[in-house]
Amino acid sequence: MPPTHGAFAEFSHTYAALPERFHVRVPPTPVAAPALIAFNDDLASEIGVDRSQLSDASLAAICAGNSVPEGALPLAMAYAGHQFGSFVPQLGDGRALLIGEVVDLQGKRRDLQWKGAGPTPFSRRGDGRAALGPVLREYLVSEAMHALGLPTTRALSAATTGESVLREGGPLPGGVLIRVAASHVRIGTFEFFAARGDVDAVRALADYAIARHYPQLRDDPDRYFALFEAVAERQSSLIARWMEIGFIHGVMNTDNMTISGETIDFGPCAFMDEYDPATVYSFIDRRGRYAYGNQPDILQWNLARLAETLLPLIDADPGQAIERATASLHGVPARFDRHWLAGFRRKLGLGVCVDEGGDRALVTGLLAVMQAEAADFTSTFRALAGAATDDTALPGAFLDWTHRWRERLAREPGGIASGIATMRRTNPVYIPRNHRIEEIIAAAVQDGDFGPFHTLHTVLARPFALQPDRDPYRTPPLPHERVQNTFCGT
Ligand code: AMP
Ligand code: MG
């Protein structure tokens, strides 16, 4: 008989040690027939999760929330948030449960969390469950983001439940994801306590965030202001990186913005096909609040919500606190722009050393042609490496721009060759294209076929290298394949 309940991970629990009002202990609700779809062995070994002592059935049971691994302490975290601009004083983990924390091989503390493991006191009218489609989307897109080199939560496992969930369109197969995060502390976590006037809790949370994510600030006498600036810096860098790969988060509510600076919550997210800053895929975002081109503005808006929660900690004098926070917030666009320009310069093959005055105009000039031509974002940037030496690598409309850019590229210290190498490292061949995601979800949901999911996952694991026989994963959608909306699945 194989052991059914061996060690899974060495759990510890710093969040559970915070005061009671931060969380609610709640066990996962078992599902009818747990079965494993995917288990991320690479990530597991990185974070010290060991499946070797578990039978397949025990592993599936843990991944679906049917069994609580030894040493875990499941809990739902309290948080609030601004959703599409309106404040909701209580959200919280309505369908997610912190399993516990592990310390990874680098000594970094990581959260393990079930998503879809049943109702909690924060579920409101929701069922606490996730549909299989969104579980697969989150698995693929978060892992693709990681392979692209962006800070992101990861996916440890995906499981089916043998149960259906009821959504607007009718019943859908259910799924459970285990995700791994640097932590699940969000701007909305600060807002939860600030809205209740609970300054002690805000301070405890800020100290927690500093200890976990910004330990270098621990002894800083001005550490709460420094915390704000550190989060502003990481989030500015993150959103700039989203822009560089054409990523649209879709629901940049303050409860979906981490203090760690990781991308979190892959709901109606999408990668842009043809370049247009007004692109929005999420059907719940009717007014385009979270359109591609609005993401930098929302970054600043969300950081303003965080700053508000920290005011009493920044200075005992409210006037002083507001003045300092406001000045820092006004610096966010410049902060973002530094990352944005550096990132897009790299995409053009320009190194980090010499930033010529005309480089910004080169970037915006290219984007203007792309928009006018409705050019595919990812393919156009990928084609640049070829266009450095070949006039036919891009359509004729790009030729004038290409010639200007080549003159600039030739002035790079390493010349054109090093520019080409930079571009091949920076501009991916493969992104999780919407039509491919929809395709793998349809195969899984309609036919129970997970083959396409696994193939797409394999392709996306190496986004920068051209892979033989993988053209269908590289090319933009044909007109009939275009995806208009992505689905939230909540
Ligand atoms: P999200 O849109 O996934 O960021 O979730 C926003 C809020 O709705 C969070 O408080 C979630 O926990 C909650 N929520 C989303 N889906 C469900 C569900 N199926 N059951 C219960 N709560 C949910
Ligand atoms: Mg969320």
Ligand 2 centroid to residue 415 C-alpha, Å: 45
Q: What integer pLDDT is reported at residue 369 of this predicted model?
A: 98
Q: What is the number of the ligand closest to the CA of 83?
A: 1
Task: Tell me how far apart the alpha carbons of residues 206 and 185 are, in angstroms, rounded to a whole number.
Answer: 10
Q: What is the number of the ligand closest to the CA of 93?
A: 1
- Mean pLDDT across the stretch 453-467? 98
Atom of ligand 1 nearest to the CA of 92: 10
Q: What integer pLDDT is reported at residue 288 of this predicted model?
A: 95
Asked if residue 490 has pLDDT above 60, the reply is: no
Asked if residue 157 has pLDDT above 70, the reply is: yes
User: What residues have CB less than 8 Å from 407, skipping those under 6 apart?
Assistant: none
Q: Which two tokens stand for residue 378?
A: 């990812």
Task: Kindly report the protein residue whose alpha carbon is nearest to atom 13 of ligand 1.
Answer: 94
Atom of ligand 1 nearest to the CA of 127: 20
Q: What integer pLDDT is reported at residue 283 of this predicted model?
A: 84
Q: What is the number of the ligand closest to the CA of 488?
A: 1
Ligand 2 centroid to residue 256 C-alpha, Å: 5
Ligand 2 centroid to residue 343 C-alpha, Å: 27
By most ligand atoms within 8 Å of CB, the mutation choice from 29, 95, 263 for ligand 1 is 95
Q: What integer pLDDT is reported at residue 487 of this predicted model?
A: 59
Task: Kindly report the protein residue whose alpha carbon is nearest to atom 22 of ligand 1.
Answer: 94
Ligand 2 centroid to residue 305 C-alpha, Å: 16
User: Active site includes 285?
Assistant: no
Residue type, 351: G
- Mean pLDDT across the stretch 122-150? 98
Q: Which residues line ligand 1 (CB under 6 A)?
A: 91-95, 122-123, 126-129, 251, 255-256, 265, 267, 490
pLDDT band, very low/low/confident/very high, at 352 (cuts 50, 70, 90): low
State the Cα torsion 347-351-355-361 to the nearest 10°: -20
Task: Kindly report the protein residue whose alpha carbon is nearest to atom 6 of ligand 1.
Answer: 91
Q: What integer pLDDT is reported at residue 353 of this predicted model?
A: 66
Asked if residue 294 has pLDDT above 60, the reply is: yes
Asked if residue 4 has pLDDT above 50, the reply is: no
Atom of ligand 1 nearest to the CA of 91: 10
Asked if residue 6 has pLDDT above 80, the reply is: no
| pLDDT tens figures, 40-57 | 999 999 999 999 999 999
Q: What integer pLDDT is reported at residue 207 of this predicted model?
A: 98
Asked if residue 354 has pLDDT above 80, the reply is: no
Q: What integer pLDDT is reported at residue 468 of this predicted model?
A: 94
Ligand 2 centroid to residue 118 C-alpha, Å: 15
- Mean pLDDT across the stretch 288-312? 98
Q: Confirm whether pTM is higher than 0.85.
A: yes
- Among 255, 265, 273, 285, the active-site one is 255
- The region that residue 289 occupies, defined by phi over 0 for left and psi between -120 and 50 for alpha, beta otherwise, is alpha
| pLDDT tens figures, 70-124 | 999 999 999 999 999 999 999 999 999 999 999 999 999 999 999 999 999 999 9
| pLDDT tens figures, 224-274 | 999 999 999 999 999 999 999 999 999 999 999 999 999 999 999 999 999
| pLDDT tens figures, 212-227 | 999 999 999 999 999 9
Task: Kindly report the protein residue whose alpha carbon is nearest to atom 23 of ligand 1.
Answer: 94
Ligand 2 centroid to residue 413 C-alpha, Å: 45
Atom of ligand 1 nearest to the CA of 490: 16
pLDDT band, very low/low/confident/very high, at 385 (cuts 50, 70, 90): very high
Atom of ligand 1 nearest to the CA of 255: 4
Long-range contacts of 47-50 (CB under 8 A, 24+ apart): 47/9, 47/102, 47/104, 47/105, 47/110, 47/112, 47/156, 47/180, 48/9, 48/10, 48/102, 48/103, 48/104, 48/105, 49/8, 49/9, 49/102, 49/112, 49/156, 50/7, 50/8, 50/9
- Mean pLDDT across the stretch 309-333? 98
3-state DSSP of the chain: CCCCCCCCCCCECCCCCCCHHHEEECCCCCCCCCEEEEECHHHHHHCCCCCCCCCHHHHHHHHCCCCCCCCCCCEEECCCEEECCEEECCCCCCCEEEEEEEECCCCCEEEEEEECCCCCCCCCCCCCCEEHHHHHHHHHHHHHHHHCCCCECEEEEEEEEEEEEEECCEEEEEEEEEEEECCCCEHHHHHHHHHCCCHHHHHHHHHHHHHHHCHHHCCCCCHHHHHHHHHHHHHHHHHHHHHHHCEECCCCCHHHCECCCCECCCCCCEECCECCCCCCCECCCCCCCCCHHHHHHHHHHHHHHHHHHHHHHHCCCHHHHHHHHHHHHHCHHHHHHHHHHHHHHHHCCCCCCCCCCCHHHHHHHHHHHHHHHCCEHHHHHHHHHHHCCCCCCCCHHHHHHHHHHHHHHHCCCCHHHHHHHHHHHHCCCCCCCHHHHHHHHHHHHHHCCCHHHHHHHHHHCCCCCCCCCCHHHHCCCCHHHCCCCECCCC
Q: What is the number of the ligand closest to the CA of 126?
A: 1
